[in-house]
Amino acid sequence: MLCLGSAGQAQDPPKEHLLSSLLPDGPELEGWAKEGDHQFFEGDDLFIYIDGGAEIYFEYGFGRVIVQDYKKGTGSRLSLEIFEMESPEAAYGMFTFKSSPRGEPVVLGDEGQLADYYLNFWKGRYLITITGLDPEAGAKEDLVSLARLVDKKLEQRGQRPGLVSELPEDGLKPNSLRFFKGPLALYNSYPFFREDVFAFQSGIKGEYANGSTLFLFEYSTDKAAGRRFSEARSRFSAEPKYRNIQWDGELLVAQDEKGRAIYARLSGRFVLIVLGNNHRETAEALITRTEKHLANQKEDR
Amino acid sequence: MTGYIGRREFLRKGLKVGLTAAVGGPFLRQFARGPSAALAKDLPDVAVAWGEDYARNVLKAVELLGGIERFVPKNSRVAILANVQSSHPGTFTSPTVLGSVLQLCRKAGAKEINMVSWQALKNWESTGLAKVVAEGGASLKLVERDEANFKPLPIPAGKVLTEARILNALLEHDVFINMPVTKDHAGNKFTGAMKNLMGINSPGNNRTFHKENWQTDRSAIEHLDQSIADLNTAVKPVLNLVDATEFITTNGPFGPGEIIKPKKVVAGVDRVAVDAYCAALWGLKGEDIVMIKRGQEHGLGNYDLKKVKIKEIKA
């Protein structure tokens, strides 16, 4: 078969070699062994590997990926993917995108999460995904053991994007965080519009114990945020799925086709949106709390 | 005769929809002949069988649609398109489901059964599908991604896609069965019968579905959906049989992601209705999926599940 990506280790070019050196091998695998050659994809060739699912990686900032399957004597198989993203921010973003709402935290890299049959962690600009290919047979310990081997080989750490800390922590569900760098990730969290109406620099979403979901979109300047908020207001009015639109000069109120309330406000270079809480006072309180939090953070900086 | 399409009408439609003349043509003729067309009037648009035994679900779903003989004539050459994009659980057509379809095709007297695909052999092997194909008396017709292996096909009805590039290998068959797994898709929220047809279109052409001029068009998420609907105007599978037994509802289409297990096999001729039914399995509405809406606008089927005849049984 023709494959535009490359396989094998015989003549690894430098970038491929760097990633292949991160693949656990030999005695350290303790019962596991590589199954077949690795696959390597760089830039646009990601389409060959993840045709149809590549854009989201590009939206966050993708560099290259190496993929290696492992097999245990009993027949269990694991797939290891090491994505080298363009920045720690990109790695963190994809990590939140791929996180499971039911996953459990695991101490790996800068942050890790273990789900039923798969595991994700990020460290520096790397995102690592390990999947049990035979979920019935897969043991979570195997996922974690393999992940630890990769973790040890990665030296540089990263930091979460600053925007994450702008969300008020009280009542925030940790697994619900989603960091956005573009419209596709936002669309997958909540499809406000099919077009890129908000056009933010970056965004964050968090769900709260009281049923509210908070979106916080960041812009480079107050003016840019104001322009986008103004555009969004008219689009809410024009979009048939939204009804009961109200605008009092500060707060935009709408209701989506499922009857969920939406409250949106412009605050400096941020747009804040609370979705899903039909109790107006509670929603407004969260917006106010976030604004205070933003102000405090600004003073701290 | 209900649903009869005369030769002149057949040719007109065939010319209008391009490949339908080459691939869909024989199926249209088949639908128009004998008792099957009359039978179709009383048959469901969407047949669903559910239960722990996925192989049996296939048999029952096809039975609800009038039996495999309605779709696979004796001595026919059958092409099957499965989804084998990823080996992560819940992202590829179940080997059990495929095995059961192969069994049905053999029972119908198919002369030849081939899996047509440009996906790598590694994918077929790591998913377990290659083994099922070999055991089921079928063959893998895998082609390289070279554009020479694809036939240019004008799409007169296309709104954004004016030309597709269809696997040459598909054209060597009389019957085309579409066998996707339904699942999440980061690009357009949902994948099922309609989107699976990208598996017979060249990867190079498919790239234009996702990105115009190879660049991300941030203001046109709809472009992918419209392209898929356009492609579907040109190629009509005789049967869509969707694996909805176990599939991912997040991080699609590649996974890994959250898996749900409706344990269902969903079959039908109407791709739009089949997709709308599958989307509803995880709380999506057909009308909210642009691809499904555009499919209905092209006259490919009906997404309104209140107006679609659905028959569902526990197998």
How far B55 CA lies from chain A's nearest CA (Å)?
19
- pLDDT tens by residue, B136-187: 999 999 999 999 999 999 999 999 999 999 999 999 999 999 999 999 998 8
Residue A103 and residue A70 share a domain: yes
- pLDDT tens by residue, A91-129: 999 999 999 989 999 999 999 999 999 999 999 999 999
Q: By the CB < 8 Å criterion, does A36 face chain B?
A: yes
For residue B283, count CB atoms less than 10 angstroms from its CB and return exposed for 0-12, middle for 13-18, buried for 19 or more: exposed
The pLDDT tens digits along chain B (315 residues) read 233 223 333 333 333 333 333 344 433 333 333 345 556 678 999 999 999 999 999 999 999 999 999 999 999 999 999 999 999 999 999 999 999 999 999 999 999 999 999 999 999 999 999 999 999 999 999 999 999 999 999 999 999 999 999 999 999 999 999 999 999 998 888 999 999 999 999 998 998 887 554 344 554 568 889 999 999 999 999 999 999 999 999 999 999 999 999 999 999 999 999 999 999 999 999 988 999 999 999 999 999 999 999 999 999
Question: Which residues on chain B are in Cβ contact (under 8 Å) with A132?
Answer: 89
Note whether residue A250 is domain-resident: yes
Q: What is the pLDDT of residue B223?
A: 85
Question: Which residues on chain A are in Cβ contact (under 8 Å) with B121?
Answer: 1
Nearest-angstrom CA–CA distance, A208 and A211 = 6
Note whether residue A146 is domain-resident: yes
State which amino acid sits at residue B237.
P
Q: By the CB < 8 Å criterion, does A3 face chain B?
A: yes
Residue A209 and residue A81 share a domain: no
Q: By the CB < 8 Å criterion, does A10 face chain B?
A: no
Q: Is A103 helix (H, G, I), strand (E, B) or coil?
A: coil
Q: Which residue in the set A55, A69, A102 is minimally distant from B126, CB to CB?
A: A69
Q: What is the pLDDT of residue B208?
A: 84
> Does the beta-carbon distance from B251 to A98 stay under 8 Å?
yes
Q: By the CB < 8 Å criterion, does A162 face chain B?
A: no
Note whether residue A54 is domain-resident: yes
How far A225 CA lies from chain B's nearest CA (Å)?
18
Note whether residue A1 is domain-resident: no
Note whether residue A43 is domain-resident: yes
Question: Which residues on chain B are in Cβ contact (under 8 Å) with A102?
Answer: 258
Q: What's the domain count of chain A?
A: 2
For residue B62, count CB atoms less than 10 angstroms from its CB and return exposed for 0-12, middle for 13-18, buried for 19 or more: buried
Question: Which residues on chain A are in Cβ contact (under 8 Å) with B286?
Answer: none
Instruction: Assess contact for A207 and A176: CB atoms under 8 A.
Output: yes
How far B272 CA lies from chain A's nearest CA (Å)?
20
Q: What is the pLDDT of residue B1?
A: 29
Show the domain range for A25. Answer: 6-153
Q: How many CB pairs under 8 A join A and B?
A: 104
Q: By the CB < 8 Å criterion, does B85 face chain A?
A: yes
- pLDDT tens by residue, A130-158: 999 986 666 889 999 999 999 999 999 99
Residue A21 and residue A132 share a domain: yes
Question: Which residues on chain B are in Cβ contact (under 8 Å) with A194?
Answer: 221-222, 290
Residue A11 and residue A47 share a domain: yes
Residue A234 and residue A104 share a domain: no
> Does the beta-carbon distance from B210 to A2 stay under 8 Å?
no
Q: By the CB < 8 Å criterion, does A201 face chain B?
A: no
* Residues 262-281 of chain A whose Cβ lies under 8 A from any Cβ of chain B: none
Question: Which residues on chain A are in Cβ contact (under 8 Å) with B214?
Answer: 44
End-to-end CA distance of chain B: 33
- How many alpha carbons fall within 13 Å on the CB side of residue B38? 4
Question: Which residues on chain B are in Cβ contact (under 8 Å) with A55?
Answer: 186-187, 210-211, 216
Q: What is the pLDDT of residue B2?
A: 30
How is chain B split into domains, by residue range? 45-314
Q: By the CB < 8 Å criterion, does A190 face chain B?
A: no
> Does the beta-carbon distance from A55 to B187 stay under 8 Å?
yes
Best CA proximity match to B60, nearest among B278, B241, B306: B241
Residue A169 and residue A122 share a domain: no
Q: Is A145 helix (H, G, I), strand (E, B) or coil?
A: helix
State which amino acid sits at residue B219.
S
CATH number of B45-314: 3.40.50.11440
Residue A104 and residue A232 share a domain: no
